[in-house]
Every structure is written in C-alpha cells, then in structure tokens.
Amino acid sequence: MIHLDIFSDPVCPWCYIGKAHLDRALASRHDHPFIIEWQPFQLNPDLPPEGRDRAGYLEEKFGGRAKAAAIYARVEEAAVEAGVEIDFAAMKHQPNTLNAHRLIHWAGLEGRQTAVKSSLMRAFFREGRDIGDTATLVAIAGATGMDEAVVARLLASDADRADIMARDMDARRKGVTAVPTFLIARQYVVRGAQPPEVWAQVIDELITLPNP
C-alpha cells in the first residue's frame, strides 16, 4: 500500500473538483494501492473565527466584483466538467475552517476521515451551510457515525488546535503554496485538480512497479 497525503481545505473549490476527479479514478481502479490521509491547509487562516460575509470576502480577495465573477465562472465551468454540483447562490458565508480541520483529524482516528471530508464539502458547496459553526460541525460528525457529544466537547476545548496549526505551517514551509496538493509515497508531489485519466495513469504505473 502507498500513502497518498492530500493537502486540502474543505472550502476550496478546486479541492472539491480535484476530489471528484480522484474519486472517479479510484472507482475505476478498485485495486489502487492508496491509503488516503487528508492533511490540513487553510486557504484563509486570517479569517475571524466566526467567518465573514462571502460576497465581501470574494471582492476583497480578488480585487473587485468583476474579477471575482470571472474567476468563479472558470470554477463553475470546471465543476460542470467534473460532474460536481456547486450552489453558488446558497454560499452566503465564508467560514474559518480551523475547527473543520480539527474534525477531519478526529475523524481520521476513527477511520471516517474521507466520509467527514466529503460531508463537509457537500455541506458547504451544495447546501450553503456554515462549516465553521460548532453546531453544524457536530451534526456532520453525528451523520457520519461519530459521537456528537464527544465532538461537541472537543470543539469546546483547545484540543489539537495547536497541532493542526503547526501541521498547516509545516506544509507551507515544505513548499505547499496552494491546494489541492497530493503527496504520493511521502516523496512525489502532484499539484492541482488533475483529471481522472491522469490519476488512472498514475495508479496503473504504481500497480505495475516491481516489489522491492
């Protein structure tokens, strides 16, 4: 088996699209060798804990409404090509994702990491939910089989907060500047939302490698 570490943020549209591409490739290669682990990377670590209005955030980030609209037109086109649904009208709030990353980490300890990651992305991109909100995170955790009371208690504390922030900073120091970034076997880097055929080729090459 081969580790596939994915640096990603659940509010990153290219991460959402890249995950859809990877999922399609994995579904076509049931004998793929990957053990997937989701690694933390915040696109907007400086957002206040309560997040902010999304429209204003996008205009500020991209230099005005027209530029933001042009950039997200490309995102929408790529999402349609990937077969993923994004409800832009529903997305009113831009959350701080530190607590979402904490939840993803805890889900990994229970073998539920990909399920929780998928649920967070669906909640944000398709349902317009605030995935920085504690009650929302607890509900998502419960829906994926985690203990809601335990998650609520952890979120009310500082558990693993410093660790998640340190892992995020370590990724930046090691050269992760944008997401999604994929690290294969802890040494080979693939950047961006690569199409399914690229992943299928990577998987086929890995499967045919001779055993050491």
49-64 tens-digit pLDDT: 999 999 999 999 999 9
Write the CA distances from 140 to 70, 118, 137, integer angstroms. 32, 10, 5
For residue 209, pLDDT beyond 90: no
pLDDT at 98: 98
When pLDDT is cut at 50, 70 and 90, the band that residue 208 belongs to is confident
Q: Give 160-205 pLDDT, tens digit per residue.
A: 999 999 999 999 999 999 999 999 999 999 999 999 999 999 999 9
**How big is the chain by its Cα radius of gyration, in Å?**
17
Q: Delineate the domains of the chain, giving CATH numbers in brackets.
A: 2-207 (3.40.30.10)
Q: Across residues 15-28, what is the average pLDDT?
A: 97
Separation CA 114–CA 95 (nearest Å) = 20
Please tell me the predicted confidence (pLDDT) of residue 210: 64
Between CA 99 and CA 134 the distance in angstroms is 8
Distance CA 194, CA 207 (A): 19
What CA–CA distance (Å, rounded) separates 167 from 9? 13
Residue 207's pLDDT is what? 87
> What is d(CA 115, CA 112) in angstroms, rounded to the nearest whole number?
5
